[in-house]
Amino acid sequence: MTIYRDAKHLVRNISEWITERLRDSGKSGGIVGLSGGIDSAVVAGLLKMVCGNRMLAVIMPCHSAGEDLEDAMKVVEEFNLPWLKVELTETYDTLLRALPFNISSEQGLHLANLKPRLRMTTLYCIGQLNNLIVCGTGNKAEISLGYFTKYGDSGVDILPLGDLLKGEVLQIARELGVPPGIIKKPPSAGLLPGQTDEEELGLTYLQIDRYLATGDAEQDVAKRIESAFTRSAHKRTSAPICIIDAKLAERQE
């Protein structure tokens, strides 16, 4: 028995949902960052279906691999997307030079996560000017495990793929006609050289999909997924607000 839902059904439902979100928001279309990976390719394809030319795909290189840029352009050509390129490498380097040396010289996620945060800022700048809703590319596996940058790629208005298992994203990609090379490409956040999602997570997407869909997994796999879900809870909620006790406020009067 498959754990994945029918791709045609998913495309139809997501397209209708995007249309409703656009109507409710008063936006004229959608904007998405195009990375050269499968998730952003699927969101771009869906936006093109729903919005026609009232959408924009933005390619934002930031010390990015040449292969990713080539794949992003393949998606642009395949779906005939309105697109724009914003080179962020120099901006990133300028920010690093402005930081104290002990911060900028210490390699790690604190620097890698600057890239999606710069991209988020860029998308909102362009989107606001053009009355476009910012569309995220996160899927259910990534969101559940917290495999995204807080206030980076999670800084969006809507998440069209947020209820999709990774395997369902693959099926929709085939349904839409995403170039085969991108479908077969090992998923990667592209934040560090040679990085792949599954290697960093220590899990395969099939293991994650099966557990999220059925609750079935080997004990160590289930424990790792549950631990990641708990650790990343803060990423899926708004910042907590300090509520002042009303009685305390009264005593101060």
Tens digits of per-residue pLDDT, 144-158? 999 999 999 999 999
User: pTM of whole model > 0.85?
Assistant: yes
Q: How many domains does the chain have?
A: 1
Residue 164: inside a domain, yes or no?
yes
> Does residue 184 belong to any structural domain of this protein?
yes
Q: For residue 80, is it within any domain? A: yes
Phi, psi dihedrals of residue 52, rounded to the nearest 5°? 65, -130
For 162, the domain range is 7-252
Q: Which residues are CB-contacts of 142 (< 8 A; sequence separation ≥ 6)?
A: 148, 197
Q: Which residues of 10-20 are buried (b: 16+ CB within 10 A; e: fewer)?
A: bbeebeeebee
User: In the prediction, which pLDDT does 186 show?
Assistant: 85
Amino acid at 220: D
The list of the chain residues with pLDDT below 50 reads none
For residue 2, being part of any structural domain is answered with: no
**Are the CB atoms for 158 and 135 separated by under 8 Å?**
yes
**CATH of residue 111:** 3.40.50.620
Structure confidence at residue 247 (pLDDT): 65
pLDDT for residue 108: 87
Residue 1 lies in a domain: no
